[in-house]
Amino acid sequence: MSPAATHHAATSPLPLSSDDAALASFDDWLDSACLGGALPPAVAADLQRAAAAYHQDEVAETYLSQAYARAPDHPAVHIAYYRFYFYKNRLSEALVVAQRCLAKTAVDLGLPVNWREIDADHAVFAGHADSFAAAPRFYLFTLKGCAYLNMRLGELALGADMVSKLMALDPRDKLGGSVLRGVLDRVGQNDDDE
């Protein structure tokens, strides 16, 4: 289990499982999100400095803010913010970043900004269940991240709705929505056991 997942154990309304490391890191999503073109060198330097100052919250956030000011639309900046907040167990702030990414990616893809209004028949998703392009894949991983964060913050009904939408858009479960569904199912079972 990752250090972040271990740290979350005391504060989570959800039971942790062996799946939690996969849910917690989202590194596949983050590392594969090469959207938005080349990262300007000054922004890359800001992000590297933020990572190096990870244990000094104010310093790291100063570099993240600087990177955001230089490249507010670049996914790498949002990803860095997300990671920082997520691993600091600042889940509400991580959720704000994930929601911002979800809305921006929806606009970029020509999707409705409200994820509830997206239809699985939309051209972005229809017929691509085996190999989503980078932008739709980023959108789906972001939706998954929002679902997970809502679940961790106790918003189980909203998280469940987002998982259902993820599974409708990804019927072959390439992005692992069933893992989150399994966590939700176990929550109900744990309640029954008490």
Is residue 66, in this structure, part of any structural domain at all? no
* pLDDT score recorded for residue 129: 58
Q: How far apart are CA 82 and CA 116, in angstroms?
A: 22
Query: What span, in angstroms and rounded, lies between the C-alpha atoms of 2 and 5?
Result: 5
**C-alpha span between 172 and 168 (Å, rounded):** 9
Q: What is the number of domains present in the chain? A: 1
Residue 109 lies in a domain: yes
Q: b or e along 114-153 (b: 16 or more beta carbons within 10 Å of the residue's beta carbon)? A: ebeebeeeeebbeeeeeebeebbbbbbbbbbbbbbbbbbb
Based on the number of CB atoms within 10 Å of its own CB, is 157 exposed (0-12), middle (13-18) or buried (19 or more)?
A: exposed
**Structural domain contains residue 16:** no
**pLDDT tens digits, 167-179:** 999 988 988 999 9
pLDDT at 38: 77
Binned at pLDDT 50, 70 and 90, residue 73 comes out as: confident
Q: Residue 24: is its pLDDT beyond 60?
A: no
Confidence check: pLDDT of 189 > 80: no
Q: Per mean pLDDT, which range of 26-40, 122-136, 138-152 is the poorest?
A: 26-40
Residue 101 domain-assigned (yes or no): yes
> Does the residue 95 lie in any domain?
yes
Cα gap 56→58, rounded to integer Å = 6
Residue 22 reports pLDDT greater than 50: no
Query: Rounded distance, CA 84 to CA 171, Å?
Result: 31
pLDDT at 98 over 90: yes
- DSSP 8-class letter at 90: -
Cα dist from 83 to 70, 77, 157, 177, whole Å: 19, 10, 24, 20
More confident residue, 192 or 117: 117
* Domain interval for residue 184: 91-188
Percent of the chain with pLDDT over 70: 75
Confidence bin at 7 (pLDDT 50/70/90): very low
Q: Is residue 97 part of a domain?
A: yes
pTM: 0.77
Residue 166 lies in a domain: yes
Residue 146, in any domain of the structure: yes
- The string of pLDDT tens digits covering residues 126-141 is 765 556 778 888 899 9
Contact 105, 139 (CB under 8 A): yes
